[in-house]
A = this chain, B = another copy of it.
């Protein structure tokens, strides 16, 4: 829905979203081509607006309390192909092209690399690149 109070910095489509008490919404990143779920992170109003404007995923880091420009250090940006909203207006789905083929800070393709097997969490996805080589070892 478009809003008569639309401005560049505050487009009306952001008003459709039911932000939580902290002003955040979960955002799922899915590989647009393979359908693999890469990660889930959080967005505030500004990060979602910038994501739509700039065309790559920008999250809100709850631990650091600031914008998190995904791929800024690693080069593993997520190019936006589609932005979806769920029926309850409280979850965002991003369909993305994952640069470098690695979304996880552990060097794996997806953050969801552990499966529940015989009552234990078992890693089932390989490390594609050493995190030290991605982020530098300092």
Interface size, A (range):
35 or more
Contact B119 A11 (CB under 8 A): yes
Which residues A57-104 have CB closer than 8 A to chain B? 82-88, 91, 93, 104
Q: Name A's B-contacting residues (CB within 8 A).
A: 1-2, 6, 11-13, 16, 26, 28, 30, 34-37, 39-40, 52, 82-88, 91, 93, 104-106, 108, 111-116, 119-121
Query: What's the nearest-Cβ distance from chain B to residue A45, in Å?
Result: 14
In Å, the complex CA distance between A82 and B88 comes to 25
Given contact pairs A30-B37, A34-B35, A105-B87, A121 touches B82 in the complex (Cβ within 8 A) = no
**Extra contacts besides A26-B40, A88-B111 (10): CB < 8 Å:** A11-B119, A12-B119, A34-B35, A82-B116, A83-B116, A84-B115, A84-B116, A85-B112, A85-B121, A87-B104
